[in-house]
Amino acid sequence: MSQVMTHARLIALLKQKGIQQTEVLNALQQIDRADFVDAIDRSQAYEDRPLSIACQQTISQPYIVARMTELMLNGRQQLNKVLEIGTGSGYQAAILSCVAMHVYSIERIEALYQAAKVTLAAYKNIHTFLNDDIDALMHDGPFDGIIVTACCHKIAPHWLNALADGGCLVLPLAQGEGQYLTQVVRDGKAFTRQQWDAVSFVPLLKGIF
C-alpha cells in the first residue's frame, strides 16, 4: 500500500532523487506547498507531482522546483536579484525568496496574478507583475538568476545579456518532441550551456488576459 506523503517524507524523497544543496532543501522545508495548491487538492500537496491550478495551468512538481532552484544557484548560497517568468501559484517564487534578496515574478494571466499577489502578500521580498513581455523585462537586469517556468522555443541573446557575471538562466527548452531543463551560466563574456532533465511545462505565450 502506498504511504501517505507528508512534508517530511517529501523532503526525504527529494534528497533520494538527488537534490543536495542545503539551502534548497531548507527552502523546500520552510515553504508549505499546501498554501499554494487549490483547497480541493490540499491532501495531495506533498506528492511529488504537478497539480492543476486555476486557468488550466499547473503548480510544478516539487522535484522540478528544487532542481531548477539548484541549477539557478549553481553552487552559490544566496543571490541578490532574480527574475521568474510564470508566477502561476507563486510556489516557485516563494522558494526563490528563501535564496534571493529580491524576487521579481511575472504572470500573464490576470486571475493568477491577482491570486498569487494575495498568497504572497507576506513575502516582502517578492515583487509580482502582470506582464507577458519577457523581452522588455530583461532591461531591468542584471539578474543573478533567471528562471522561466514555461516552455521556450529559443533563448534570445539579450536574455543572456541580462545575466550578471556568474549569473545563471534556467528554463525548459523545446527540442524535437521533448523539452529539457537547460542551464546557461555567464562567466564574463562566455556562456556555458548544459542540458539536464526531460520535463513537461505549459508553453510560454504572448498576451495578457
- Letter for the amino acid at 170? V
Cα–Cα dist 204/21, whole Å: 28
* Residue written as grid cell 536574455: 159
CA distances from 17 to 20, 125, 180 (A): 9, 30, 17
The count of residues interacting with ligand SAH (CB under 6 A) is 22
Helix/strand/coil for 43: helix
Q: Which is nearer to ligand SAH, 125 or 166 (CB)?
A: 125
Closer residue to ligand SAH in complex, CB, 88/167 = 88
Q: Smaller CB distance to ligand SAH: residue 150 or 160? A: 150
Q: State the Cα angle at 97 between 33 and 61, rounded to 5°.
A: 35
Query: Is there a catalytic annotation at residue 2?
Result: no
Task: Identify the helix (H) or strand (E) that includes residue 80.
Answer: strand 79-85
Rounded Cα distance between 46 and 58, Å, is: 15
> How many other CB atoms sit within 10 Å of the CB of residue 54?
12
Q: Which of 2, 52, 60, 200 is the catalytic position? A: 60
Give the x/- contact pattern for ligand SAH in 44-83, rule: CB under 6 A. Answer: -------------xxxx-----------------------
Among 88, 141, 145, 172, binds ligand SAH (CB under 6 A): 88
Q: Which is nearer to ligand SAH, 92 or 179 (CB)?
A: 92
Rounded to whole angstroms, the Cα distance separating 35 from 121 reads 12
Q: How far apart are CA 33 and CA 50, in angstroms?
A: 11
Residues 147-206 that bind ligand SAH (CB under 6 A): 149-150, 202, 204-205
The residue within the footprint of ligand SAH, chosen from 24, 66, 71, 86 (CB under 6 A), is: 86
Binding residue for ligand SAH, selected from 107, 115, 152, 199, defined by CB under 6 A: 107
Q: Under the criterion CB under 6 A, does residue 128 sit at the interface with ligand SAH?
A: no
Q: What residues make contact with ligand SAH under the rule CB under 6 A?
A: 57-60, 85-86, 88-89, 91-92, 106-109, 112, 132, 134, 149-150, 202, 204-205
Active site residues: 60
